[in-house]
Amino acid sequence: MDITRLFAHRNLLVVGFLILILIFLTTFPLYGGSYYILVLTTILMYIVLTVSWAMFSGPTGYMSLAPAAFFGVGIYIGAILGAKLPLLVAVAAGGLGCFILALLIGMVTLRLKGIYFAIFTFGLLMFLTEIILYLEIHIGGSRGRHVFPASDEAVFYIMLGICVATLLTAYFIRRSRLGLAMQSIGGNEEAAAHMGIDTTRVKVFTFAISAIFMGAAGAIMAPSLIYIDPYIAFNMRYSFMPVLMAVFGGMGQFYGPVLGAAVFAYTERILRIQYPYHYMLTFGIILILVIVFLPGGLVGLIQKLQKTRLISKLWNRGKEEEHANT
């Protein structure tokens, strides 16, 4: 009974903390400057990319390096349609376009396993970069394009909405039959297939769902970039950073990728400003230390502290009861 009360109390604290964070985020543009709005928008963007990546790759074990591909496609869809249509329509089109693209790619490639799937998704990123560069130069007549302007507040609020939608989708998938099917695939795909799970359909569908949010995030980030070309839109760091952030945060719990993305994104921005030529070296050292000393990421560290605290509470309470009985 005591343990049940402790967990119920913890859940209430978590819900209250999440509500406070949401209130803070929704009111931030009222008192935050343009620079800090841009910083927070970037952090939300990385949370979307990281959680979307972990939504598929975390439980299945398939190492996807396609986030930059879907993010870049979303940027171009947002840049092209945003000049003619309302911003929300361009964002929705970016998400839908990436959903369709991921379905087509998934049906072809998700029969591949292990390193072969990772290599293909990275090759997809290179292919899209070069094909769009070719089309821009030979059809558009120039490399790159200027993007329509949008207010920092509008970009922030839409990105916040995408982030909330991503988190809710990831949470409910994790607790659904689809989430259990993906965990079975990650544990033993052959056994999951023998149990009656259509592994290919599960992988393709989840892969496509995760691409929606990557594409939508790219579409809304297009106005912030002002000018884009294929090497800006399809920058490979958008594929590798979500993986590093998820590992840094830890994928053992739902909040691990969120925590890793928030801490990593803010740290990256500070280091990139102060040490523009050495910040990647600093990140490499941090990741090595985390992998060696905290293989479970920040989540593993938090769980160890929680277990220690819980055991201490129960031990002290047991001592108090023993003393009272005597």
pTM: 0.86
pLDDT digits (tens, 9 = 90+) for 257-285: 888 888 888 888 887 777 777 777 777 77
Q: Would you say 264 and 248 are in contact if contact means Cβ atoms under 8 Å apart?
A: yes
Q: How far apart are CA 83 and CA 238, in angstroms?
A: 24
Q: What is the sign of the dihedral through the CA atoms of 193, 173, 264 and 233?
A: positive
SS3 234: coil
| 155 vs 151: CA distance, rounded Å | 6
**Tens digit of each residue's pLDDT (9 = 90 or more) over 198-217:** 888 899 999 999 999 999 99
CATH code for 36-295? 1.10.3470
Residue 62 in 3-state DSSP? coil
pLDDT tens digit sequence for 34-84: 888 998 999 999 999 999 999 998 888 888 889 999 999 999 999 999 888
**Pairwise CA distance, residues 287 & 248, whole Å:** 7
How many Cα atoms within 13 Å fall on the side-chain side of residue 234? 24
Domain ranges within the chain, ordered by starting residue: 36-295, 296-326
**CA 298 to each of CA 42, 85, 249: distance values in angstroms, whole numbers, following the listed order:** 21, 42, 5
